[in-house]
Structure 1
Amino acid sequence: MQQETGQTPDFEVREPAIQAIPFVFNSPHSGRNYPKSFLAQSRLDAHTIRRSEDHFVDELYASAPSIGAPLLLAHFPRAYLDVNREPYELDPRMFDGALPPHANTASLRVAGGLGTVPRIVAENLDIYPGRLPVQEAISRVEAIYKPYHACLRRLISRTHSRFGFCVLIDCHSMPGTTRLAGSSLRPDFIVGDRFGASASSALSDAAIGALEDLGFRVVRNKPYAGGFITEHYGRPRRGLHALQIEVNRALYIDEVTLQKRPDFSVMESLIATFMRRMAEFTENLSVETSLAAE
């Protein structure tokens, strides 16, 4: 994305003074830098287009560096580019011109309007009044998507080399109306591990237990089991674990105004406690028997 002010990068890594724990925290959907050029392309106003954000999730996890782990966060908005997708998961109906032959045009996410370059924001609101040049999608992928994932891979590889295993926590939020299918339960958190494919069951159990001990209602994998990032980077047998953590937005923002609730700092403190407890869980693990060999 062209930076109109010349001051805000597309993403950044907030590093600890020394990485002391085998964790990488990632907030790919909390970006809120909406350049005027992008807003001019859209049919939505500056407030409505924010419906797809994981509002302030980067701030909820801001203490990660202070407990010894890097935090990668996006500044570009999810409505502009979604790095929790394949690199070319694109809807041909959105673009003038032919997509690359390797593009995935038939995924369920593309059909739902939520590809790498999204067609809609929440509540099925179209972002654009018409088609975009195909080069627009390619440029976003080349200029932002690929560097973002290259950065994330470096953080994961460095952590794995240093500790013998790595735990990626992919940090997200969900609407306050989210319910467990067939139930009236509205969870506070959902821990996604791709139904055991992306992380050790011991690690998933520890995350759920830590959150429940803090007083939250927690469910596993339903309705969010994890997106591309969790699926792509989670390789438990190689000591690479990825969990997607969804927090209910209604706990910390007003979902109409999108403003922080007065007790936002309380949620921030509780998530800091959650991160510390996860770090404590990994301190005395045998990598070979407890995580990597499952």
Structure 2
Amino acid sequence: MRSDYWDQPAFETVRPRRLVAPIVFNSPHSGRVYPPRFLAMTRLDHLSIRQSEDAFVDELFARAPHLGAPLLRAHFPRAYLDVNREPWELDPTMFVEPLSDRFNTNSPRVAAGLGTLARVVAENKPIYRERLTLEDARMRIDGIYHPYHAALQKLLSEAMTGFGLAVLIDCHSMPRIGRHGERAAPDIVLGDRYGTTCAPGLVDLVETVFTAAGLRVARNRPYAGGFCTRTYGRPQHGVHALQIEISRHLYINEATLEKNAGFEIVRGLMERLMLTLLGLDLVALAGGPAMPEKAAAE
């Protein structure tokens, strides 16, 4: 089966002219290029199918390469393929053929309709008119998912080679959360898998940047970090991963997905965060190994 993205890139690595720090920014859910074939397969209108997007998150972090850090961003939408899942996390009810034991069909994410190929978008709206074929799944997973993760791994390996450690900042947005009991709902949720994927000092610093801007910050609830955070975050091996969830109401109209008056404010705040991170002695903060002489001399 020919790729739905045969005539355009499914994702993009935007590199800095000069790498100044071991930080990689990843925006896996902000893609908004919907292939015609996919749109013909869905029962949803164009606005409804976009409800799963982390709309414009890639734009919020677009300055990263100008400041000296790479940005990996998806062009394919999350409703089409979710690279923040295991590669074969599939719902058997979505496919014409039976799924063998090699597929993960029993995860909580599959049960919620949000596997590698999602069954629903927000508010539990079914995506497809008819069942898919496994050939379609293989086209997306072998052709896009695996190359995407290979690109992400390459960026982290380059950071490790140059600096002796790597930091993945996984960039996401979340729907506005209602009040949690007596506590006001958070504007930002930081996910480090309950302290297992990122050095505490680094998470503390990121939280401070947001709280200093007057935002409410929560950790790991309700988002502790997805597949990317869990898979790549290995502090004991010098790779740190932190997921950042930004409440969409801060920068877009959640119903129309149009940018609101807060967009430039939030983009400016993300630039402040990036400048803070890029200016750090991350080796000292993360407690990593000594920086290689070549990198230290630059």
Q: Decide: shared fold, TM above 0.5.
A: yes
Checking the alignment, whether the CA contact within 8 Å between 2:193 and 2:224 is kept in structure 1 is: yes
2:284 partner letter: S
Equivalent residue, structure 2, for 1:11: 11
Equivalent residue, structure 2, for 1:248: 247
Matches within 5 A, 1:111-260: 111-176=111-176, 178-179=177-178, 181-260=180-259
Equivalent residue, structure 2, for 1:290: 287
Checking the alignment, whether the CA contact within 8 Å between 1:14 and 1:65 is kept in structure 2 is: yes
Is 1:62 the counterpart of 2:59? The answer is no
Checking the alignment, whether the CA contact within 8 Å between 1:238 and 1:292 is kept in structure 2 is: no
Structure 2 gap segments, 5+ residues each: 291-298
Equivalent residue, structure 2, for 1:110: 110
Equivalent residue, structure 1, for 2:4: 2
* Counterparts of 2:154 and 2:55, CA distance in 1: 26
Is 1:268 the counterpart of 2:267? The answer is yes
Identity across matched positions, percent: 51
* Counterparts of 2:179 and 2:103, CA distance in 1: 33
Q: CA deviation at 1:3?
A: 2.8
- Runs of 4+ that moved beyond 6 A: none
TM-score normalized by the length of structure 2: 0.93
SS at 2:46 equivalent: coil
Residue-by-residue CA offset, 1:98-150 (whole Å, 9 max, x unaligned): 33532111100000000000000001000012311121112110010000000
Residue-by-residue CA offset, 1:232-283 (whole Å, 9 max, x unaligned): 0000001100000000100000111110013412211111001111222335
Residue-by-residue CA offset, 1:32-64 (whole Å, 9 max, x unaligned): 001111110001011100000000000000010
Residue-by-residue CA offset, 1:132-178 (whole Å, 9 max, x unaligned): 112111211001000000000000011011111011000000001x1
1:190 partner letter: V
Q: CA deviation at 1:67?
A: 1.4
* Counterparts of 2:264 and 2:162, CA distance in 1: 32
Checking the alignment, whether the CA contact within 8 Å between 1:180 and 1:186 is kept in structure 2 is: yes
* Counterparts of 2:270 and 2:143, CA distance in 1: 32
Is 1:76 the counterpart of 2:73? The answer is no
* Counterparts of 1:156 and 1:128, CA distance in 2: 35
2:145 partner letter: Y
Checking the alignment, whether the CA contact within 8 Å between 2:164 and 2:289 is kept in structure 1 is: no
Checking the alignment, whether the CA contact within 8 Å between 2:233 and 2:240 is kept in structure 1 is: yes
SS at 2:287 equivalent: helix
Equivalent residue, structure 1, for 2:32: 32
2:276 partner letter: R
Equivalent residue, structure 1, for 2:101: 101
- Cα distance change, pair 179–202 in 1 and its aligned pair in 2 (3 A): farther
The alignment covers a number of residue pairs equal to: 288
* Counterparts of 1:92 and 1:148, CA distance in 2: 24
Structure 1 gap segments, 5+ residues each: none
1:51 partner letter: Q
2:248 partner letter: R
Equivalent residue, structure 1, for 2:294: none
* Counterparts of 2:288 and 2:209, CA distance in 1: 18
* Counterparts of 1:290 and 1:56, CA distance in 2: 33
CA RMSD across the alignment? 1.7
TM-score normalized by the length of structure 1: 0.94
